[in-house]
Amino acid sequence: MVSEFMLQQTPVKRVLPAWTQWLERWPSPRDLADSSPADALRMWANLGYPRRATRLHQSAQNIAQNHNNQVPNNFETLITLPGVGEYTANAILAFAFGQPTVVLDINVRRVIARAWQGQAHPTTSPSAIERSFVQSLIARELNAQTTPMWAAASMELGALVCTAKTPQCSICPLEATCQWNMMGKPDNTAKPKTQVKYLGSDRAERGRILKILRLDHAPQSVHVIRQGASDKDQCDRALQSLITEGLVVTSGRGKVSLPGD
């Protein structure tokens, strides 16, 4: 559980020494629960995203008080602990308890997308169809003993061999059956929508208007606001959308302000 918390947003290389020190100092949830959140934060040091340290501390308190100092071994309870989402709960069940859960990180999803679905890359986030596909794959091919090993192995395969940019198919155990490899590795994944440029957009114009109103603390003339705009139509559109959403109010006599100004 500690390693899964640390690995949520930090690479393995940085996690390993911190994880070792953490468990030396706090070998059980109660040991951590008896320390202060400040201690947990200090120990977290430079792992980043320090909310994880306080959530781990809260989880340790919960486990010490309510679960006899044992990390729960079922999804329904794990998911109620602070900082434990679906992915972390499944990873704990697979790697700590050897349960046949689906651990879908980006590396596993890339291997599945290529080897079974013939797609160069997975979609941005797993869909219900993808989850049920993986569930059925696991139910068909694996059992309670082999699923945790498959979870770890597929993660490693995606991280080290089937990498996003340079998959090493010649050393991959799936080379002969991989759909994407057999198709000649086409660039067949729908490109993610390119983000609309901020500069010159309606969003930027809304930001400009709000900035004027934030700085001035008083109703401003629409005429003055329009004067500073490079595109008057865009200014009108942006202002109207702000008024419609209640972020700007009309104050009479051609003036507008932030609500409450």
Active-site residues: which are they?
4
Using DSSP, state whether 33 is helix, strand or coil. Answer: helix
Q: In what order do the strands lie in the sheet with 220-221?
A: 220-221, 255-257, 249-252
Residue 28, number of CB atoms within 10 A of its CB: 15
Q: In angstroms, what is the minimal distance from the CB of 106 to ligand SF4?
A: 13
Between CA 60 and CA 194 the distance in angstroms is 42
Using alpha carbons only, give the angle 67, 72, 77 rounded to the nearest 5 degrees: 95
Smallest distance, ligand SF4 to C-beta of residue 185, A: 7
Token pair 């109010």: residue? 249
C-alpha triplet 143, 146, 147: angle, nearest 5°: 75
In the complex, what is the shortest distance from the CB of residue 138 to ligand SF4, in angstroms, rounded to a whole number? 17
Distances (CA, A) of 60 to 2, 48, 67, 69: 10, 20, 10, 8
Query: Judged by CB, which is closer to ligand SF4: 153, or 249?
Result: 153
Structure tokens at 123: 């979609």
Question: Which residues lie near ligand SF4 (CB under 6 A)?
Answer: 111, 114-115, 161-162, 167-169, 172, 174-175, 178, 180-181
Distance between CA 153 and CA 217 in Å, rounded? 59
Pick between residue 174 and residue 238 the one whose CB is nearest to ligand SF4. Answer: 174
Output the smallest distance, CB 124 to ligand SF4, in A: 19
Tokens describing residue 177? 């059956």
Cβ proximity to ligand SF4: between 46 and 166 the closer is: 166
Q: How far is the CB of 249 from ligand SF4 (least distance, A)?
A: 56
Q: Considering beta carbons, is residue 156 or 236 the nearer one to ligand SF4?
A: 156
Distance (Å, whole) CA 138 – CA 151: 10
Residue 177 beta carbon to ligand SF4: minimum distance, rounded to whole angstroms: 8
Q: Which is nearer to ligand SF4, 26 or 180 (CB)?
A: 180
143 C-beta neighbours (distance < 10 Å), count: 10
> How far are the Cα atoms of 168, 171, 178, 260 from residue 184, in angstroms, in the given order?
14, 16, 10, 62
Nearer to ligand SF4, 188 or 240 (CB): 188
